[in-house]
Every structure is written in C-alpha cells, then in structure tokens.
C-alpha cells in the first residue's frame, strides 16, 4: 500500500477546523455546564479522521430535554430496571425512560448468575442495552407499518406510543483501570445508551448489598474515572449523558490515602497497639477461625485501639477542607504544643484498605468535587435532601437521580401511606427529576410469575383463559401485532407480492 500523498497545510486547516467545532459544541446549552480538564485540541488529536454519528447522541438529547422540562415544571420521571424487550415495550406506554440495572443483568443476563457484585463481564450491560435498543427500533417499525396501512380516519383512533425511550444504564465502577473504563464508555455509546452512571466503589470490592465492607476509592481516582468517560464521549463527539453516583454514605473503607481531600475522614489508631492485620494473621495461623471469630477478634482489637479521625484526636474543628494529614498534624502541634498520637496504618484491613468514617459532609464534598464533570448527581442514600440543597446552592440547575430499593422499610422509617405517595414529588422538588426502582423485576416479575405459575398448576388451562387470555384479548392483545406478524407480512408483500396474489 502506497503512503498517502498528504498536503500538510490542508491537514492543518482541517484539524484546526475540527478543534473549533469541538469548542463550539462545548458551548451548546447541553454541554455548557460541563467543565473539562483538557482542551478541545487534545481531544481532536485523539479522534478518528472520519466522524461517526451515534444513536446515543440523539437519545441523550431527548433525555436531556425531558429532564430540563421536568426541572422547569417541578415534575419527575419514575421508571424501573428491565432487561427484557417485552417488558420494555409495555413500559413505553407509561414511562419516558428505561433503566438497565447491573444487578438485574448479573442475575439474569449472564452465563453464571450471581449477586450484585459487579463481577459479570464488562460488556454485559452494554450488550443488554443494545438488545433493548434494537427491540425498541423494531417496535417503532412495527407500529409505523401497521399505522400506515390504515386510513387516516382509522389511524386517528389508534393508540400510538413512543417506543424509543432513552435508556439509562448501570456502568458500575467502570470495570477496572482507566483503559477498561474508556472501552466500556465507547461500547455504551455504540449500544445506543442515553446515559450511564459511574460510581466511586472499589473495583472487585462491591459488597454493600450485604451491608459489609463497602469500599470506596479516593476522590482523585473517582475524578479520573469520570474524566475517562467524559474524554471518551468527547472523542466520539457523543452527547451521551453521565450520571455520577457516589457511595460514600455507609462506606467502611477507602482503598488509599493518596488524596488529601479524603484525609479528614480516615480513621487511625490513637493508642499504641499492634497492627490489626498482624493480629488477624496470627488468628488465621492459629487454626481455621470462622468468620464470626474473626469479626470478634477485630471488634476486640477495635476496643483497644482508640479509633478516631485525626481531627477528633486533636479536638480540632473540621473546617480544613482538603488539608493533608501532614498540615493537620502541624496545625495541631502548634496549638496543642505536643504531637497528636494518630496512626492510620494500624487499622488497615488485611487487603490493605484504610478505615473510613463516612459523613454527609464528606459525601457533599465529593459530589461537589465531581459535579462539573457530569450531568446528574446521585448521592446513594435514603435522605439526600441536605446534599441536594448544598449542590443546588452552587449549581442551581443541578439534576439529581434517586433510587428506591427493594427492601426499604417505609413504615419503619416513619412514612405514612400518604407520605409514600407524595415521596416522588417531594424528591422532585429537591431536584431529583430522575427516579428509579432499579431492581423492580427481581420482586415484580417473580411475584407475577409465581401467581401465574400457581394458577396454571391449580386451575389448569381454564385459569389461563380466565385470568390472562380473556383480559389480554379484551385490550387488543391477540399476540399477532406484538409479535410483528403484520410487519413480516409486509416484507413478504414487498419482496414478492405477485406470489401471494
């Protein structure tokens, strides 16, 4: 292959034009609130020489304007997680969006199912998104064909739905290092997703479903992840939205103390004790301790260690945002006239994580630190109002996501039935214009499947006829429209009409 005969002047002109077009794009209303740590020129150098258009951009712009109008009107979108095209098609009548949950994918869309540990293959969720998007397009074609086969008068009486609901998907913690995150973001854009969410949990350590050992990464690492996603979107010129989820609330560990922003919340030992990992290793070597025994050893050790943050140890007010431990020590020494005993190495876990003291303040700081990189914020907690307010003070048009969980004890938390009913609109007033029940299917589908299976067992086919077939037919569900039979006939007619006449 002969090398191209390049006119470098023309190449430079085209390149500079591309840089200018990226700069202009970043000034559009959809992009203007995002602050990048890199230049348009740098992004241009990372692009292909040809441009591709992505469905994801169209769907993201649609989602963006839906959200803007919810924000303006104090309304909200409440949707649920689904992985099945049949369910998604039904949702189109009532929901504006579809959510694809990582947990649900891990339960149902993989060869080896498992708990919500984000341990499924990295391309699992993008593939499910693509499957759903293709099914949406098919439903859209199916509906158009059947409509356009009718006269206007008849069409006016037919129901018509927007099957192309923007898809929002769970990208967990980005699945590994930054290059994995970049590849994942690319695949999501190519799958047709409108928005993904990325969290600050540690890869391979998502354990919060059982309430044990939730581990987050340093603020700086989280910023790196989000920047990787944003960079990939920019390289592709995609409008794809980024929802930034933070899991700091109830976090027990942090993987490293590299970022001074986190130092205020790292717990150390203030007594002179052996390192916890040494004590635990000794216990492990002494036989085959049960998990319960190990927890006991740990609890006993904690009682002797005088665990607290540095500020608690030095009785200093916690207003030194982002101050590194070294400066905190220096400040405490100059006020107290002595060294404060504090060692954050001693309580480290056997895996090396540092002990972390979660706080609403820390969560607020983290949400604020990353806000300019993304489009929506999701502090994952039950009552995020205070954090929403803090963010809205700085970014008045900030958009938020809120997630409802399967096991939340509404009554136990003091909600009356009216409170539960009002909850989504109250959340919307706090800026949570996007609300999800991510794993509804785990409860809902199983609940209805159980009912249906039991009915078939107990009442035989008569039960099905009475409970499902009759009511379904009564609302026009004869199966042939939903299965695309008319569309297939239309193909046959188009290809070889003469054979059928």
Ligand X SMILES: C[C@](O)(C(=O)O)[C@H](CC(=O)O)C(=O)O
Please state the residue numbers annotated as binding site for Mg(2+).
170
Please state the closest distance from residue 408 (CB atom) to ligand X, in A: 9
What separation, in Å, do the N-terminal and C-terminal C-alpha atoms of the chain show?
Answer: 54
Q: Between 250 and 316, name the residue whose CB sits nearer to ligand X.
A: 250
Work out how close the CB of 298 gets to ligand X at its nearest, in angstroms, rounded to a whole number. 25
Q: Do 380 and 103 contact (CB within 8 A), yes or no?
A: no
Q: How far is the CB of 115 from ligand X (least distance, A)?
A: 10
Burial tier of 127 (Cβ tally within 10 Å: 0-12, 13-18, 19+): middle
Quick check: helix, strand or coil at residue 279?
helix
Shortest approach of ligand X to residue 358 CB, angstroms? 16
Q: Which is nearer to ligand X, 170 or 365 (CB)?
A: 170
Query: In whole angstroms, how close is the CB of 496 to ligand X at the nearest point?
Result: 47
CA dist 176 and 430 (Å) reads 33
- C-beta of 106 vs 347, nearer to ligand X: 106
Specify the residue, 119 or 493, whose C-beta has the smaller distance to ligand X: 119
**To the nearest whole angstrom, how small is the minimum distance from the Cβ of residue 211 to ligand X?**
11
Distance, in Å, from the CA atom of 38 to the CA atom of 223, rounded to the nearest integer, reads 13
**How many CB atoms are closer than 10 A to CB 365?**
21
Smallest distance, ligand X to C-beta of residue 200, A:
12
Instruction: For the CB of residue 187, give the shortest distance to ligand X in the complex, in Å.
Output: 18
For residue 79, what are the β-bridge partners? 436
Q: How many residues does the chain have?
A: 501
Q: Classify residue 265 by its DSSP letter.
A: G
What is the spatial distance between Cα 124 and Cα 24, in angstroms, rounded to a whole number? Answer: 35
Q: Quick one: 408 or 492, whose CB is closer to ligand X?
A: 408
Nearer to ligand X, 216 or 235 (CB): 216
- Nearer to ligand X (CB atom), residue 101 or residue 255: 101
CA-to-CA dists, residue 109 to 76, 89, 101, 203, angstroms: 29, 18, 11, 20
Annotated binding site: 170
Q: Which is nearer to ligand X, 102 or 347 (CB)?
A: 102
CA distances from 264 to 344, 365, 499 (A): 11, 11, 78
* Cβ atoms of residues 138 and 484 within 8 Å: yes
Name the site residues for ligand X (rule: CB under 6 A).
Answer: 81, 101-103, 116, 170, 209, 380, 403, 405, 438-439
Nearer to ligand X, 389 or 405 (CB): 405
SS (H, E, C) 139-165: HHHHHHHHHHCCCHHHHHHCCCCCCCC
E-state strands within 138-277: 167-170, 195-198, 215-216, 241-246, 253-254, 267-269
* Least separation in angstroms between CB 288 and ligand X: 32
Alpha-carbon distance 299 to 437, whole Å?
35
Rounded to a whole number of angstroms, the CA Rg of the chain reads 27
Which residues neighbour 176 within 8 Å (Cβ) at sequence distance 6 or greater?
122, 203
Query: Cα(156)–Cα(150) distance, rounded to whole angstroms?
Result: 10
Where are the strands (E) in 288-442, listed by range?
307-309, 354-355, 376-379, 399-403, 434-437
Q: How far is the CB of 405 from ligand X (least distance, A)?
A: 4
């Amino acid at each position: 292959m002969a090398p191209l005969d390049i006119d470098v002047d023309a190449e430079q002109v085209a390149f500079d034009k591309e840089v200018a077009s990226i700069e202009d794009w970043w000034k559009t209303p959809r992009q203007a609130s995002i602050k990048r740590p890199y230049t348009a020129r740098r992004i241009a150098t990372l692009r292909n020489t040809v441009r591709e258009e992505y469905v994801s951009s169209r769907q993201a712009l649609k989602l963006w304007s839906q959200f803007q109008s919810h924000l303006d009107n104090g309304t909200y979108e409440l949707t649920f997680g689904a992985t099945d095209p049949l369910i998604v098609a039904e949702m189109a009548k009532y929901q504006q969006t579809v959510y694809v949950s990582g947990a649900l994918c891990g339960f149902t869309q993989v060869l080896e199912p498992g708990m919500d540990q984000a341990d499924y293959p990295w391309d699992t969720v993008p593939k499910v998104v693509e499957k759903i998007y293709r099914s949406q397009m098919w439903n859209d074609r199916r509906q158009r064909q059947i409509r356009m086969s009718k006269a206007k008068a008849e069409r006016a009486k037919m129901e018509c739905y927007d099957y192309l609901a923007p898809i929002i998907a769970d990208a967990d913690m980005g699945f590994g290092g930054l290059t994995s995150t970049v590849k994942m973001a690319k695949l999501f854009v190519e799958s047709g997703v409108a928005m993904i969410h990325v969290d600050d949990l540690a890869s391979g350590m998502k354990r919060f479903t059982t309430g044990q050992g939730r581990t987050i990464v340093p603020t700086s690492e989280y910023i790196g992840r989000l920047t990787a996603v944003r960079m990939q979107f920019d390289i592709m010129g995609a409008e794809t939205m980024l929802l930034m989820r933070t899991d700091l609330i109830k976090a027990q560990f942090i993987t490293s103390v590299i970022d001074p922003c986190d130092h205020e919340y790292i717990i150390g030992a203030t007594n002179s004790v052996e390192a916890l990992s040494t004590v635990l290793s000794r216990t492990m070597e002494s036989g085959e301790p049960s998990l319960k025994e190990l927890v006991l050893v740990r609890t006993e050790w904690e009682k002797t260690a005088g665990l607290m943050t540095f500020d608690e140890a030095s009785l200093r007010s916690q207003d030194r945002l982002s101050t590194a431990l070294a400066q905190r020590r220096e400040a405490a020494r100059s006020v107290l006239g002595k060294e404060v005993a504090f060692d954050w190495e001693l309580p480290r876990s056997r895996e090396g994580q540092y002990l972390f003291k979660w706080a609403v303040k820390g969560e607020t700081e983290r949400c604020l630190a990353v806000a300019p990189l993304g489009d929506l914020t999701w502090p994952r907690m039950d009552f995020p109002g205070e954090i929403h307010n803090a963010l809205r003070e700085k970014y008045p048009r900030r958009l938020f996501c809120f997630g409802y969980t399967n096991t939340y004890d509404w009554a136990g938390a003091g909600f009356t039935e009216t409170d539960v009913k009002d909850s989504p609109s109250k959340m919307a007033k706090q800026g949570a214009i996007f609300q999800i029940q991510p794993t509804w299917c785990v409860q809902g589908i199983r609940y209805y499947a159980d009912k249906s299976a039991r009915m078939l067992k107990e009442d035989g086919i008569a039960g099905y006829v009475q409970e499902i077939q009759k009511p379904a037919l009564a609302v026009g569900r004869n199966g042939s429209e939903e299965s695309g039979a008319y569309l297939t006939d239309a193909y046959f007619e188009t290809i070889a009409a003469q054979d059928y006449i």
